[in-house]
Structure 1
Amino acid sequence: MGGEIGKQDNKKDHPGKLTIYVLATSILAATGGLIFGYDIGISGGVTSMASFLNKFFPTVYKNEITDTSTNQYCKFNGQIVTLFTSSLYVAALFTSLIASTVTRKLGSKLSMLFGGILYFTGATINALAQNVAMLIIGRSLLGFGVGFANQSVPLYLSEMAPYQSRGALNIIFQLSITIGILVANVLNYFFAKIGNWGWRLSLGGATFPAIIIIIASIVLPDTPNSLIERGMPAKALSNLRKIRGIEQVDKEFNEIMAAGEASKKVQHPWKNVLHRKYRPHLTMAIAIPFFQQFTGINVIMFYAPILFKTLGFGDDASLISAGIIGGFNVLATLVSIYGVDKWGRKFLFIEGGIQMFVCHVLVGIFIGFKFGLSGIPSSPLQQWYAILVVIFICIYVSAFAWSWGPLAWLVPSEIFPLEIRSAGQSLNISVNMLCTFVIAQLFLTMLCHLKFGFFLFFASLVFVMTMFIYFFLPETKGIPLEEMNVVWKNHWFWRSFIDHHVLDDLQMVENGQQPDIVI
């Protein structure tokens, strides 16, 4: 019964289409990803600028400029430098927990608005920074903004999209992240040439994506799911008809109403998410963001310029190489938008994992041959050798961009039932930000101690996460949000965790009856 609900009857029961209205609102909402992407791209470039290092981190600057014999693996090792980058993610971690309540009680739009305002304030403080304390305060405010935006935007996109196009529309959020990274890399290259204050323009440029999300939060419509959860069913029905482009939306509306009734009976969603029947959802909300960060991607994105300078690239060459990587990141995300609803989430996860594993191993071998264990190159880095390293890093980034990059936002946002959806998404973002903080804070120290084995370390983790997906993640392509429990019921491992009454409720909704929901 469950398989037929998810696979055969959807077109008949959910006849809505992808309208221009939904496409336009989804693109506008997805621009919330620009603030996250811009920050990822800008921080690594700024921390490689001599004027920035000389002003705020003079010891690191001295090691870079004057000590040519330094072990290259340890050249930039400094906890204060990494704190500049990682402080944002601690703030985002705590904010995402608060954002859960805001989103549930007041809707995704208000969460986006809070995110934009906080991010704008943080960017302004960073651009005017006179000391490290101002940098950290500004970065923390940026983190507050990212926490609100990352919690609300993926949920908004999943709830607005018709199930047939949910994957592609949700991945527009990841596309915005990659565009933000690319724009930041390009700006870093040009601003680095502006004397002693170019870094201020790089940091201050974050105000522009903040303004975009502020405007978006004001003009976007509410999702039907959010309106029902906040007690406005008539408006929810009107909005649902508008976004689906048809009048006959009874089946989908009844399912959302049933989920809304369940949501109202849940007084403590953070407590309820621990119930046995939500164990599959909880596992994925923790495992997927954890694994995403331990693919090693943010090592590349945060510190690409520093990494390339460590490999012997000059200032311009390191920034140009980071820009090239950003370009591959954007193009490969388009592949995911095209294929996620055709090939499925699981296929992309596994293919991307295999590709990343191979690239990590090869880059580790190349760097090991060049720098050995001492970290001192046996000879100047030849151009062809440097190009080869960049090529394999680009192949690695491409694999991430059409697999673990977008899908780690998409899958958790679509698997939770409405009654715990905000709490589940907050948990997903919190784990993501915690792991991002750990990676950002420890990267330079790990590189210093693990040397070229650093890349082999991530290769082993990519292997483990690919096996996890193969055995434990069911395919969620083409399943309406409110019928998602069927994928767990049909899974060889998770079926024992799903209560039978959940599937009975789905059958009652299909027959036009009101389920007796038990929480």
Structure 2
Amino acid sequence: MKPAETTIKMNKSYTILISLIVALGGFLLGFDSAVISGAVKGISVYFEMTKAMVGFSVGCVIFGAMAGNLVAGPVADRFGRKNVLIVVAALFAISASWSALATSYLEFVVARIIGGIGVGGAILIAPIYIAEIAPPKLRGSLVSFNQLNIVIGISVAYFSNYFLVDIEGESWRWMLGVEAFPAIVYFIGLFTVPRSPRWLIRKLNKVALARKILTRIGGEAYAEYTIEEIQQGLSKKETKGKLSDLFKSKYGTIMTIALGIAFFQQITGINAVFYYAPTIFEQAGGSTDSSFLQAIVVGLTNLVFTLVAIWLIDKLGRKPLLLIGTTCMTIALLMTTFAFKNATYNFNESTLNKVSNAEIKTALSDLDGQTFESQSDLFETIRTKLDQELFLEFEREEIKNFININATLVLIAILLYVAAFAISLGPVMWTLISEVFPSKIKAIAISVVGFFNSLVSYTVTQVFPWELSSLGPTTTFAIYAALSFCAILFVYKYIVETKGKSLEEVEALLVRK
């Protein structure tokens, strides 16, 4: 029988401390993903990279993350969540040190891929561990610590790059190497956290040790009730989960929720906005300096509203936050679409004089007096006047000189979009993924869903620049708005509320009999 609230003596400070230590993996994940942005120029010169080599040196982390996604679940199921996280911390430290000391392109890429494997492991196993150790009433908030730390890690990486860029010599080595320090702290800190009590009982049958951990978290009544729930689940005597199990009808609801939320978290364009925020603001007519300043504001908005999500997720619940967030995301993307739809591109003496490249200015001088109603019409004309190299320069550097748009509306829309994502799909997706899988299929399922999420993310970030140049920002943001609306429908129809339920109660609710 579930213990009464008065009999539970929750040790919140201890549980929060454990969760914060484990969630440092999210900080390293965010830092590792963002720190390369400041080092790109230095490594491209030092290693004499072609554009293709630069692209792969940045993107290879994602390939490492996909590999980490695939192996993290099964390995954590066999050797324990804590042990895998210790290895992850070591991988981050090795990657940071080796990439900073690399003397060849091959060395550098291998070092970055090692870091990517750490990224893939951290993003999956840290939420699972926290979900397994957290009491039901705190689980949403504590799992969201991981997303908060990812956001903080990204911001710290940008500030770190800013302060290290002027170091004499090869500053890129310092930018990449500084990550080793928090990685070592994480490695040491993990030895102070207990092993997952659910894993201890299910895998090693160490009930006494699990009871000791659970008692420290919530008192004796909480420990006994939780152990009883875990053992009831074990009494089903199910065999170890296989990949084929994911396609069984009884797990249909769970896999629909997990794959659907993983898909919509990325396909609605969040990483396109984060990675290309300066490009978006420049296309809205901003200068390079103001665009980077606006991008910093985007990052701070993400941080603030992730904190709001942590505050609300165990009060409002997962489904209400998702409905509010996806609705606001759709509105924001429609606002952005509207702003670019009503933009015009004006060529006159004043706008042509702003062009810095004399060759481009001369080639476009006969457009004086013309106005284009859409970016696609503009590009169709410009391509007839410039070769490919000059066209790319026009697209990157000069188009902002000709656009007439409500730039304030674009900024407000992007900030609304990021805020809405930060209270919904950002943290809630990882909370749900850590909650919905039964113990039998958790290892293989979490790996498959994590890999799928990374694959969608990679696809979006690769396609977005092509969409902007080929389809124009109006069509691009209209597509994302339509996908975000589909996310609302998905959440309304398929997402089941898990707030306040134990992991065993969630399993009973979702597994079809």
> Which TM-score band (shorter chain)?
0.7 to 0.9
Within the alignment, does 1:144 sit opposite 2:117 as a pair? Answer: yes
Cα deviation, residue 295, structure 1: 1.8
Within the alignment, does 1:270 sit opposite 2:243 as a pair? Answer: yes
Within the alignment, does 1:254 sit opposite 2:228 as a pair? Answer: yes
Asked if the contact 2:284–2:405 (Cα under 8 Å) also holds between the matched residues in 1, the reply is no
Aligned position for 1:300: 273
AA matched with 1:25: I
AA matched with 1:293: Q
Structure 1 range deviating more: 9-18 or 97-106: 9-18
Distance (whole Å) between structure 1 residues aligned to residue 26 and residue 188 of structure 2 = 14
Equivalent residue of 1:221, what SS? coil
Aligned position for 2:218: 244
Aligned position for 1:498: 512
Query: CA offsets, 1:265-307, max 9 Å, x none?
Result: 4234433333221111122221111111112111122333455
Within the alignment, does 1:458 sit opposite 2:483 as a pair? Answer: no
The equivalences for 1:56-455 within 5 A come to: 80-130=53-103, 132-194=105-167, 197-231=170-204, 232-247=206-221, 249-262=223-236, 265-308=238-281, 313-367=286-340, 369=343, 372-373=375-376, 374=378, 380=401, 386=407, 388-452=409-473, 453-455=475-477
Distance (whole Å) between structure 1 residues aligned to residue 38 and residue 472 of structure 2 = 22
Asked if the contact 1:44–1:306 (Cα under 8 Å) also holds between the matched residues in 2, the reply is no
Cα deviation, residue 92, structure 1: 1.4
Aligned CA distance change for structure 1 residues 58 and 94 (closer, same or farther; 3 Å): closer
Distance (whole Å) between structure 2 residues aligned to residue 392 and residue 205 of structure 1 = 35
Cα deviation, residue 451, structure 1: 2.1
Radius of gyration: which is bigger? 2
Distance (whole Å) between structure 2 residues aligned to residue 111 and residue 429 of structure 1 = 16
AA matched with 1:435: V
Aligned CA distance change for structure 1 residues 379 and 298 (closer, same or farther; 3 Å): closer
Asked if the contact 1:10–1:480 (Cα under 8 Å) also holds between the matched residues in 2, the reply is no
Asked if the contact 2:339–2:405 (Cα under 8 Å) also holds between the matched residues in 1, the reply is no
Structure 1 range deviating more: 147-156 or 194-203: 194-203
Aligned CA distance change for structure 1 residues 172 and 451 (closer, same or farther; 3 Å): same
Aligned position for 2:384: none
Aligned position for 2:499: 477
AA matched with 2:35: I
Distance (whole Å) between structure 2 residues aligned to residue 476 and residue 142 of structure 1 = 33
Aligned position for 2:10: 17
Distance (whole Å) between structure 1 residues aligned to residue 159 and residue 336 of structure 2 = 24
Distance (whole Å) between structure 2 residues aligned to residue 408 and residue 235 of structure 1 = 31
AA matched with 1:259: G
Query: CA offsets, 1:377-412, max 9 Å, x none?
Result: 666379995555333222211111110000110001
Aligned position for 2:21: 28
Distance (whole Å) between structure 1 residues aligned to residue 476 and residue 38 of structure 2 = 21
Query: CA offsets, 1:114-163, max 9 Å, x none?
Result: 11111222222332345554443232111110112122100111111110
Query: CA offsets, 1:392-449, max 9 Å, x none?
Result: 2222111111100001100011011222222222222111112122223333233332
Distance (whole Å) between structure 2 residues aligned to residue 28 and residue 481 of structure 1 = 22
Distance (whole Å) between structure 2 residues aligned to residue 53 and residue 363 of structure 1 = 34
Aligned CA distance change for structure 1 residues 355 and 426 (closer, same or farther; 3 Å): same
Distance (whole Å) between structure 2 residues aligned to residue 430 and residue 46 of structure 1 = 27
Equivalent residue of 1:246, what SS? helix
Structure 1 range deviating more: 186-195 or 152-161: 186-195
Distance (whole Å) between structure 2 residues aligned to residue 171 and residue 323 of structure 1 = 22
Equivalent residue of 1:90, what SS? helix
Aligned CA distance change for structure 1 residues 207 and 302 (closer, same or farther; 3 Å): farther
Give the TM-score, by structure 1 length.
Answer: 0.81
Aligned CA distance change for structure 1 residues 280 and 443 (closer, same or farther; 3 Å): same
Q: Whose relative contact order is higher, 1 or 2, with alpha carbons under 8 Å and at least 6 apart?
A: 1
AA matched with 2:12: T
AA matched with 1:483: E
Cα deviation, residue 212, structure 1: 3.1
Equivalent residue of 1:157, what SS? helix
AA matched with 2:201: I
AA matched with 2:27: L
Query: CA offsets, 1:347-366, max 9 Å, x none?
Result: 11111111111222222343
Aligned CA distance change for structure 1 residues 155 and 44 (closer, same or farther; 3 Å): same
Aligned CA distance change for structure 1 residues 385 and 185 (closer, same or farther; 3 Å): farther
Aligned CA distance change for structure 1 residues 431 and 184 (closer, same or farther; 3 Å): same
Structure 1 range deviating more: 50-59 or 97-106: 50-59
Distance (whole Å) between structure 2 residues aligned to residue 417 and residue 355 of structure 1 = 32
Distance (whole Å) between structure 1 residues aligned to residue 138 and residue 222 of structure 2 = 19
AA matched with 2:416: I
Identity rate of aligned residues, in percent?
31
Cα deviation, residue 456, structure 1: 1.8
Structure 1 range deviating more: 220-229 or 273-282: 273-282
Give the unaligned 5+ runs of structure 1.
61-78, 489-496, 500-519
AA matched with 2:417: Y
Cα deviation, residue 188, structure 1: 3.0
Distance (whole Å) between structure 2 residues aligned to residue 110 and residue 195 of structure 1 = 39
- RMSD (Å), alpha carbons: 2.9
Distance (whole Å) between structure 2 residues aligned to residue 123 and residue 313 of structure 1 = 35
How many residues align? The count is 463
Aligned CA distance change for structure 1 residues 422 and 378 (closer, same or farther; 3 Å): closer
Cα deviation, residue 477, structure 1: 1.0
Aligned CA distance change for structure 1 residues 383 and 256 (closer, same or farther; 3 Å): farther
Within the alignment, does 1:39 sit opposite 2:39 as a pair? Answer: no
Structure 1 range deviating more: 407-416 or 229-238: 229-238
Distance (whole Å) between structure 2 residues aligned to residue 336 and residue 187 of structure 1 = 26
Distance (whole Å) between structure 2 residues aligned to residue 383 and residue 184 of structure 1 = 34
Cα deviation, residue 462, structure 1: 0.9
Equivalent residue of 1:17, what SS? coil
